[in-house]
A and B are shown apart, each in its own frame.
Chain A
Amino acid sequence: EPEVTQTPSHQVTQMGQEVILRCVPISNHLYFYWYRQILGQKVEFLVSFYNNEISEKSEIFDDQFSVERPDGSNFTLKIRSTKLEDSAMYFCASSVGPVYFGPGTRLTVL
């Protein structure tokens, strides 16, 4: 069964550093998403991406965040200057109907 994949599974970085989280969505899907889950809290929507542009973003998705689909398969989330509060599990997802999630990247900002 096709699945969404994410790399790395765990990323540790220093505060102020840039990180790029990578995702390979399911190949025939049209919508792409990033969600995050701070430890012990709810899953929060960050951004959705369709037709090579952002279709919706939440208030969390400020100027420090950006997304890109650099080629036909990858979908990336960049955090320009990480803060301690960015520590969370970041889930990539894709859909052409129900949303399917990747296993997540645990980001730890020290």
Chain B
Amino acid sequence: AQSVTQLGSHVSVSEGALVLLRCNYSSSVPPYLFWYVQYPNQGLQLLLKYTTGATLVKGINGFEAEFKKSETSFHLTKPSAHMSDAAEYFCAVSETPGNNDMRFGAGTRLTVKP
């Protein structure tokens, strides 16, 4: 069954610094990959998704992620962190177009220091 591992339950960066949140997946078929963000006391919001095609995916709020099949990775990056980026980030994997089998990683809490 598909699964996701997020390395680092907590990442802390300074405002303006590079954000790198790591995600590795396991899947028996070409995967569909997602990053979701959860702000305090809110639901999960889709940041970006990879289905097929271009391996570098751009999302909202300046985030992007690159699908690397050889490394089974889908790391999330942002060149310059803002205070408003502080949230919990979840990587997820699905093996079906309907995504009815989505599985989440444990999440990474991003803290941004002034």
Contacts and interface: CB of A to CB of B under 8 A. Distances in A.
State whether these chains interact. Answer: yes
Interface of A: 4, 30-31, 33, 35, 41-45, 48, 50, 55-56, 91, 95-104
Given A31-B98, A95-B98, A97-B97, A45 B43 contact: no
A101 B43 contact: yes
B104 A98 contact: no
Contacts of B82: none
B100 A56 contact: yes
B44 A91 contact: yes
Interface of B: 34, 36, 42-46, 49, 90, 92, 97-107
B8 to A, nearest CB: 14
Contacts of A103: 42-43
Q: In terms of DSSP, what is the predominant structure of the interface of chain A?
A: strand
A96 B97 CA distance: 8
B34 A42 contact: no
A43 B107 contact: yes
Contact of A45 (B36, B45, B103): B103
B100 to A, nearest CB: 4
B100 A48 contact: yes
Contacts of B107: 42-43
Contacts of B90: 42-43
Nearest to A58: B103
Contacts of A4: 43
Nearest to A92: B43
Nearest to A91: B43
A30 B43 contact: no
A56 B100 CA distance: 8
A102 B98 contact: no
A42 B101 CA distance: 16
A100 B46 contact: yes
A42 B106 contact: yes
Contacts of A48: 100-101
Nearest to B44: A101
